[in-house]
């Protein structure tokens, strides 16, 4: 069995947000769909990147936190997918985010 490489990203929303991060993320993906975005919806709660191999599984958990698993088959390429996802969150949702933490696995 081939080993998967993973990082866990936890995104904590600002308390004053009226809308959850999950619904904001879904709306932004629909808005950008087909317009050259690099994160492409593969299925509900799963993105793939147009250029970097791997995938991002994400969902909202209790308290409105967003948890994402960044997974690749190549150890040396996971940082690229992680960097892309963090950049996407910062560009589109920075004003809604209190903090982001990364767990290395």
Over residues 29-51, the pLDDT tens digits come to: 889 887 778 888 899 999 999 88
Domain count, the chain: 1
CA–CA separation, 89 and 61 (whole Å): 17
Instruction: Report d(CA 36, CA 69) in Å as an integer.
Output: 23
Question: Which pLDDT score, from 0 to 100, does residue 37 have?
Answer: 80
Contacts of 1 (CB under 8 A, 6+ apart): none
What range does the domain containing 50 cover?
Answer: 5-104
Structure tokens at 32: 């950008």
Instruction: Tell me what pLDDT residue 46 has.
Output: 93
Model's pTM, two decimal places? 0.88
CATH number at residue 93: 3.30.310.50
């Amino acid at each position: 069995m081939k080993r998967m490489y993973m990082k866990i990203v936890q995104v904590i929303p600002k308390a004053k947000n009226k809308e959850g991060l999950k619904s904001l993320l879904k709306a932004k993906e629909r808005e950008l769909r087909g317009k050259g975005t690099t994160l492409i919806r593969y299925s509900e709660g799963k993105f793939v990147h147009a250029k970097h191999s791997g995938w991002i599984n994400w969902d909202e958990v209790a308290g409105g936190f967003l948890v994402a698993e960044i997974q690749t088959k190549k150890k040396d390429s996971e940082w690229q997918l992680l960097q892309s996802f963090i950049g996407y969150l910062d560009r589109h949702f920075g004003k809604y985010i209190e903090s982001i933490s990364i767990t290395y696995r």
